[in-house]
Structure 1
Amino acid sequence: MAITDIPEYAHLTDADIEALGQELDAIRRDVENDRGERDATYIRNSIRFQRGLELSGRALLFGSGNRKIWALGAGVLGVSKIVENMELGHNIMHGQWDWMNDPEVHSTGWEWDNTGPSAHWKHTHNYIHHKYTNVLGMDDDVGYGLIRVTRDQRWKPFYLGNIAYNTLLMLFFQYGVAVQHLELGRVAAGRHPNPDAFKQDLRDVGMKIGRQVGKDYVVYPALVGAVTRSRKTWLRAITATLAANTIRNIWTNAVIFCGHFPDGAEKFTRQDLEDESQAHWYLRQMLGSANFDSGKTLAFMSGNLSYQIEHHLFPDLPSNRYAEIAVRVRALCDKYDLPYTTGPFLLQYAKAWRTIAKLSLPNKYLKGTVDDAPETASELRFKTDPDQRLTATVDPATGRRTGLRTAIGKLRRRRSPVPAIAGQRQAKDVRAA
């Protein structure tokens, strides 16, 4: 089962959690009070950079009759779409730059280069996903209603196609974003609460898809064909744009899955929402999100979602501040002995795919349980250890706190006796020497 008692799982008392919340509130206040010209310069330079990339990519399509120029144009246009969706659209629509009072970068006015209408995305993502992060039955991003990503989801033969479904979702991710708000599963089951609202939402999606398809596959390629007077170049402009959109879709899928589905990104039950305070919400975001290691370039290309933990804690703070916020969040994880889930990008993505592949099968064919598996855990994972403390303790001599991270480490060591024995032998050799 997913986590039903977050304080117990975290090995923290309510007082501990409130203290953690106050320290996270302090981080928010410090960043809010320090926002200024360097942040405004960052977002404006990012916009100029992205628009320059898009202009360059589309200009290269006029030479797409040449294979090398075709590949270069597709690549440049693909990168421009990544930057527009990840660093600009996603973050601007979160309200990260609303404090500037600049209508160009305000969450109410930005319409991104994506088939999903911005208004729909802000409801499904900003509100539903960020408020109910990883809560089963509340957060549609847990498997997107298509993929089994936790053993808490009852297995059905449909899930045998897990890998195929995610491959299609990866290739056509922007269309997955477009239809998510429509809740087609509820419509098919006759459970949509407002059919008239659904019809309007469907029209909005159809209009946005029409505009995107018209721009990418009709208007610009037609302009290329008219200027070059070459049917071959016109067709290659279409395929280059298709390649650019596919590049963006694959990359977006990878970044999002790295933040939500590798080992350590926990799931929760509705029970956890009862009387949830701001501090408890903070803790749920910390336990339910995962980072991947990045330098400045990789962070920028991911919309700074390589710092997914920090983003989920502070979704409306400027993304260029996440790296410095991460230093303080890591320090808090050390102080409260909480895990800080991160790892190399490819490893985190591979773990997400491994989970998707494993969970295409019924639980009876899998190792671990719904309470204690790499991708699923609950407070019951510790019940098998009679000596396991379920409340954090503080060593009065050193001031060191032992809690969840220490408990997880104990479980891992107990399951890997060979390295432990090897370590003991090595220690004995050292003492003998």
Structure 2
Amino acid sequence: MTTPTRVATRVRSTGPSDFTELSARIQAMGLMRRRYGYYWTKLALTPIVLAAAIVLFIWVGESWWQLLVAAGFAVLFTQIAFLGHDAAHRQIFASGTWNDWTSLIIADLFIGMSYGWWRHKHTRHHANPNKQGADPDIELPVISFTPEQAARRRNPVTRWLVSHQGTFFFPILLLEGVSLHASGIARVLHRDHVDRRWVEIVFITLRLGGFIALVFIVLSPGLAVAFLAVQLGLFGFYMGASFAPNHKGMPMVPATLKLDFLRRQTLMSRNIRGGPVVDTLMGGLNYQIEHHLFPSMPRPHLRHAAPIVRAYCKRLDIPYTETGLMQSYGIVLRYINRVGLGERDPFDCPLVAQRRAI
């Protein structure tokens, strides 16, 4: 087996201008220009569709059909979160302030998540995807992504859960919605510095408190609890299922290894094939390689950039990983199962398998 260190070292940059040349080509193609019409349409439709969903909820009233409405809210909130993600990456406006406020309103007031907490976490992830000790997305309390993390689970119950974590991975995603809300609330209430702390507190309180109050006003207590459980569970599942295929099961980067930007972002990321349907369902996250290389590129341009980046990587002999959606989930589950069972060198197998499939 090949260790991730040797894989990364073998494909290290042959010159400092590799990304510069690619970036110049992308710029020349006009793929970094703003898409104001696309995004203004989404921004205008978001409150309208959300208001229509609330009207539908009130009209359906005390009925178990509300569980389908709850599923609809889960999908709607996730799609709105994708729009907030675009704004946070400066994809919508030229002004950083406009993007920040758009993200804050979407995340805190429409979704009930802390934008400040998410931005801090996501910025660290983009800087060092899959790098041990640097990427917060591989430091989770319930899933181990390295043998060292698995070995630290001392409690017998926890060790058993980790050894079966592939089996529990998708059920655990049902709790992701609660985790996203709780982590954001903990962050804004903490005494560390948080930009616009009181704005976030007010927005999150209005969103979470107002939504819960509305649900209990319209529905009986038992049905209200069921509605919120379905909405939160499916929201977390959809969010987790959209982000998990992008990096999980790709090579891990040792803390001491240095890679140039092009390889650091490309080798640790995975694209998902599927066309317009997958583009919509995943909010553009299926073009993860292009998104990591050009995070401020508007979402509609990612699919146009992909063939250019793919051909460029092929020319430089840099692995460019693409799989189908279901195949990506299989890779993720096999990977975390190997880690949970204590294998010391599980990193290369997904990369080798995917390179053969390219």
What interval of TM-score do these two structures reach, taking the shorter chain for normalisation? 0.7 to 0.9
Change (3 A) 1:56 1:115: closer
1:14 correspondence with 2:17 = no
Partner of 1:385: none
Q: Distance in 1 between matches of 2:197 and 2:104?
A: 21
Partner of 2:235: 248
Partner of 2:316: 336
2:271–2:322 contact (8 Å) kept in structure 1: yes
SS across alignment from 1:289: coil
In the alignment of these two chains, the number of paired residues is 344
TM-score, with structure 1 as normaliser: 0.68
1:6–1:272 contact (8 Å) kept in structure 2: no
Q: Distance in 1 between matches of 2:205 and 2:168?
A: 24
SS across alignment from 1:136: coil
| Residue of 288, 300, 303 corresponding to 2:283 | 303
Change (3 A) 1:310 1:153: same
Shift of 1:316: 1.5
1:58-77 correspondence to structure 2 within 5 Å: 58-62=54-58, 63-68=60-65, 70-77=66-73
Shift of 1:342: 1.7
TM-score, with structure 2 as normaliser: 0.81
1:117 correspondence with 2:92 = no
What is the identity, as a one-letter code, of the residue corresponding to 1:370?
D
Q: Point out where structure 2 has 5 or more consecutive residues left out of the alignment.
A: none
Partner of 1:370: 345
Q: Distance in 2 between matches of 1:326 and 1:285?
A: 14
2:272–2:287 contact (8 Å) kept in structure 1: yes
Shift of 1:150: 2.9
| Residue of 84, 90, 99 corresponding to 1:95 | 90
Shift of 1:121: 0.9
| Residue of 196, 219, 229 corresponding to 2:214 | 219
Q: Distance in 2 between matches of 1:352 and 1:183?
A: 29
Change (3 A) 1:13 1:77: closer
CA-atom RMSD in angstroms: 3.7
Partner of 2:4: 3
Shift of 1:348: 0.8
Partner of 2:21: 23
Partner of 2:253: 268
Partner of 1:173: 176
Partner of 2:129: 133
Change (3 A) 1:26 1:199: closer
SS across alignment from 2:310: helix
1:291 correspondence with 2:262 = no
Q: Distance in 2 between matches of 1:145 and 1:2?
A: 25
Shift of 1:375: 4.5
What is the identity, as a one-letter code, of the residue corresponding to 1:121?
W
SS across alignment from 1:272: coil
Deviations 1:158-194 (A, max 9, x none): 343233874564112133335557999xxxxxxxxxx
Change (3 A) 1:154 1:353: closer
Change (3 A) 1:167 1:34: closer
Q: Distance in 1 between matches of 2:346 and 2:336?
A: 18
Q: Distance in 1 between matches of 2:87 and 2:195?
A: 25
Moved more, 49-58 or 301-310: 49-58
Shift of 1:7: 5.6
Shift of 1:335: 1.3
SS across alignment from 1:89: helix
